[in-house]
Structures are given as structure tokens and as C-alpha cells.
Structure 1
Amino acid sequence: MQAPEFHDSPTSAIQPIYDCLQSILDRFDKLEDRLDKLEQRFDKVEARTARFQWITAKSHNILCDSNVNGQPKYEEVPFPDGSLPTDGQHKLPLLSTSEAVDELSSAEATAYHEGYYPGVTPPYSLGSRKSAIKQAIGCRAG
């Protein structure tokens, strides 16, 4: 690009700058499209990872229940939306043993039930809520 000569009109003097800026804006549009596609792919991977984490944790917990050597330690099973009960908005106690489920308060059991069974009205009985929670996390202990 050459510097404009003195006799050039202002419009012709800024045209190369305008063209360069337009080229940059076009590249940004393409980059934005690529980032949108990448974000969509990331969302799919995140959903699959959450499902895998749920399967892995629940399977681990089922296998722990068959362990006769001491107290089993459960993995935290995410809610169906992928969130963890002990993180973020929920901040519920960790259910690392069947006894931890037994020690839940009524409010905590309701919150866990609503997390594991969205859209389902929690049972009135605290014992029924705790049984459903144990089933949701892969705990086979009564």
C-alpha cells in the first residue's frame, strides 16, 4: 500500500484503510462462526461427559456395595443435568456412605430427590425419599 499523494481526494485516501478494515471484519465474522461451532461441539462433549460421569460413579457405587472389606466409599453421582450435589447452587452434603444417606435431614433428602428425579414429586415419607436417593446413587444397602 502506497501513501496517498497530496492531490488525492479524502475519499480515495481512506479507501485502502476502509478495505483493510472490511477485510479484518470479514475475518472476525468467520472466526466468530467457527467459535460458535466449537461451542456447540463443546456442549455436546460436556453432555456426554456428564452422562459418562453418572454411569461411572453409579457403577462404582454398586460395586462398592458388594465389597465386604470395610465401609464402602461412594463416588458422588451427578444429577441428570450434570451438576454435582455438593457444588454450586445445591451445596448438599456428600453421600459417601449409605449411613450418610440415612443421616440426611428432611430438607436435604427433598433437595436430593428433586435433583435426581426432576419433575417428580418427592414422596411424603422421609424413608421413601432416602430409599429413592440410595437407588439413584447405586447404593444397594437398605
Structure 2
Amino acid sequence: MPIPLPPQAGAAILPPAPQDPPVLADVVRAKYYLRSVETSVRTHVPNGPTPDDEARADIYKTQVALAHSAGDAAQAPPWFLPALNAALNTAFTQQLTPLKFTLTQTYNMLLHDGENCPFDIVPFPDGSMPNAPPHNLPLLTSAATIAGLNPSQLNSYCNGYVGVGHGLVGAASQTAIAQAIGCKVIP
């Protein structure tokens, strides 16, 4: 939609009507028109523009600049926004995974042994959840649930939290799991 020119402001010369959408030259002309009106108001030119005229010239300049900017945004290719969203989503997820791990671990540290209030699920460092496929491990809600894990489950949890080839068995694996989820009481 074309931008209308402001009303005549004293002796200030109105710029030509801007193109639709405005081009950069229209933005420059609107800026110079505003400067002309501002100068006339500040020097108190007789029968010159008023402060209201200055405000209208400023609004006009802003409208032209915004319309010009919107015209540039409309020029983006149709594939750009989905590609940008995918890239930002990937970067955001990569930054969120370690943060979620650390925050959940810290919260669990406040719960002592997890008996009065169950532990939150601490994701594996790769972002996967221990109780979801493909792991399907039991929830670790307290120190007692860590102590009740069978050797296969202990090994799977250690693989997830410590890494494959950890070499931990029995009490050492329970200790490593407890530390990984933020349990302060070693089972």
C-alpha cells in the first residue's frame, strides 16, 4: 500500500511520493524532508512548520523506512525461513542438552536420598532418556531404587552415564550412577 505524503508544512518542500514499496532513495528523501522541517522549527521561520509538522514528518520518515525494510524481508526466498528454523533448533537443542543434564542433577542433589521426594529423571549426556526407547530402564527415583537394580540394568545405566567400556561392576557402578544423577547418599 502506498505511503501518503504528510500535509504541507510551511515552506518546507515535500518530497515526491515514494514508490510502492519504497526504495532506498525514498528513505533518504524522507530523512532530508524531516531535517528540513526540523531546521525550520528550530530557527523559528515565520509562517514555517510547527512542532506538530515536525512530528508528522518524523512519522512519515519512519513509515517509509519501515516499508522499505519490510520490502527487503519479503524478498527472502521461500526455503530460507524453514532452513533457518532447522539450524536454530539444532543449535538450541545442542546447547540445551548439557544444561538440562546439569540442572536436573543439581535439583536431585537437593533431595538427599530421594525417599521423601523422588528424583527427577536425568537424561544421558547424549540427550536420550533412560526410561524411554531404546533403553527402557526403570526410573531412578531414590537411592533405594539404585540399590535394587540388577547387573544388566546397572551396566546399561553405566554405559549411558559413564560410557561404554567403563569396567564398573557392583557397588562401584551403583556409586557412579548415584553421582551421575545427583544422589548424595551412596547406596
The TM-score, its normalising length taken from structure 1, stands at: 0.70
Q: Quote the residue 1:127 is aligned against.
A: 171
Give the Cα–Cα distance (whole angstroms) in 2 for the partners of residues 122 and 113 of structure 1. 9
2:158 to 103, 109, 113: 113
2:91 to 44, 49, 62: 44
User: Per-residue deviation at 1:140?
Assistant: 1.2
Distance 1:120 1:64, change over 3 A: same
Give the Cα–Cα distance (whole angstroms) in 2 for the partners of residues 51 and 76 of structure 1. 14
* Structure 2 contact 113–185 (Cα < 8 Å) conserved: no
Q: Quote the residue 2:134 is aligned against.
A: 89
* Structure 1 contact 112–133 (Cα < 8 Å) conserved: yes
Give the Cα–Cα distance (whole angstroms) in 1 for the partners of residues 137 and 88 of structure 2. 31
* Structure 1 contact 113–122 (Cα < 8 Å) conserved: no
* Structure 1 contact 114–122 (Cα < 8 Å) conserved: no
Is 1:57 the counterpart of 2:57? The answer is: no
Is 1:101 the counterpart of 2:146? The answer is: yes
Give the aligned residue type for 1:140. K
Deviations 1:72-101 (A, max 9, x none): 411110000111100121110000100010
Count of aligned residue pairs for this structure pair: 111
3-state SS in 2 of match to 1:73: coil
Give the aligned residue type for 1:46. T
Distance 1:115 1:96, change over 3 A: same
Q: Which runs of 5+ in 2 are unaligned?
A: 1-75
User: Per-residue deviation at 1:45?
Assistant: 1.1
- 4+ long deviations beyond 3 Å: none
Q: Quote the residue 1:74 is aligned against.
A: 119
The sequence identity of aligned pairs, in percent, is 23
Give the Cα–Cα distance (whole angstroms) in 2 for the partners of residues 43 and 120 of structure 1. 29
3-state SS in 1 of match to 2:111: helix
Deviation larger for 39-48 or 127-136: 39-48
Deviations 1:94-141 (A, max 9, x none): 001000100011000100000012244231x21111110001001110
Query: Whose helix fraction is larger, Structure 1's or Structure 2's?
Result: 1
* Structure 1 contact 54–77 (Cα < 8 Å) conserved: yes
User: Per-residue deviation at 1:66?
Assistant: 7.8
Structure of greater Rg: 2
3-state SS in 2 of match to 1:39: helix
* Structure 2 contact 108–181 (Cα < 8 Å) conserved: yes
CA RMSD of aligned residues (A): 2.0
